[in-house]
Amino acid sequence: MWVKTLGREHGIPAPLRVDHRRVTRRQLVAALKRSSHGIEALLKLGAAAGGQVPPSRGYVWRNLSLDVGHVLTYFVAHEAHHRGQIVMVARQTGQRLPRATTDGLWQWKTDAAHE
């Protein structure tokens, strides 16, 4: 949603949403890559604009400072929140994730090596 809200009017295409009930692993990985490219484009846009993501008409909440440092920090924290949700839901449903899976959620360097 942030790519759509902040980037669309600046020419950054928003990734299409997936059907949360029917998405396959392959479709989800592809969608996450498209989202990642959109986030990267937003940060580059902000860097090119003197360190500020240009405001857009779609950004009505105005609760996030649009300097690149705040935007990047928010995105990292938000991503970590979702990773934590994955572990929490698994535990709450009695399906503890294997240690390698839980550890793998936080291995960003390993993920980057596969790209």
Residue 113 has pLDDT above 60, yes or no: no
**What is the average per-residue pLDDT within 111-115?**
53
For residues 68 and 47, the answer to whether their CB atoms sit within 8 Å is yes
Better-predicted residue by pLDDT, 108 or 38: 38
Residue 42, exposed/middle/buried by CB under 10 A (0-12, 13-18, 19+)? buried
Domain that holds residue 87: 2-113
SS3 state at 60 = coil
pTM of the model as a whole: 0.80
pLDDT at residue 57, as a whole number: 92
List the alpha helices (DSSP H) in 1-115: 2, 25-48, 68-92, 99-104, 108-113
Better-predicted residue by pLDDT, 17 or 44: 44
User: How many domains, in total, are found in the chain?
Assistant: 1
User: Pick from 75, 84, 91: which is nearest to 106 by CA?
Assistant: 84
Residue 13 has pLDDT above 60, yes or no: yes
Better-predicted residue by pLDDT, 62 or 41: 41
Instruction: Read off the pLDDT of residues 67-89 as tens digits, 9 standing for 90 and up.
Output: 999 999 999 999 899 989 989 99
46: alpha, beta or left, given left = phi > 0 and alpha = psi -120 to 50? alpha
